[in-house]
Amino acid sequence: MPHLSSRIHSVIPLACTLFTLLLDVLRFLGLCLRSSPALAAENLFLRKQLALYQEHHVTPRRVTHTRRVALMWLSWWCEWRPVLAVVQPETFMRWRCQGFRLFWHGTRSGSFGDAVR
């Protein structure tokens, strides 16, 4: 019997590795079938996040195994990609100018200009 038990214990890691490999292949095939706008939106989001990290000199935190599994389950549970919006550069610049005008209008009207001085 001890011989059979040692074989089972040696087969379990192999089965786990094969199962993980199968999941990775399925995930890869799913990513290959994604539309071009979805891929562009994800790339835009990741580039903006990287630029923010570089600008603020943020060092990445190590992700624990528990957090990694929780994020994996969360990503399977809700579809987050459709929430991302592809914004045209002209729209982004218009929003930025409007925010800039609103900020300076607030400082000149004295609503929070006293706190800045």
Residues 80-116: tens digit of each pLDDT: 667 666 677 787 788 888 887 887 776 665 555 454 4
Query: Is the pLDDT assigned to residue 17 strictly greater than 80?
Result: yes
pTM score, two decimals?
Answer: 0.34
Contacts of 29 (CB under 8 A, 6+ apart): none
How far apart CA 81 and CA 58 sit, in angstroms, is 25
- The per-residue pLDDT for range 37-82, each reduced to its tens digit, is 888 888 888 888 888 888 888 877 788 888 888 888 877 777 766 7
Give the span between the Cα atoms of 78 and 95, in whole angstroms.
Answer: 29
**Distance separating alpha carbons of residues 106 and 114, to the nearest angstrom:** 11
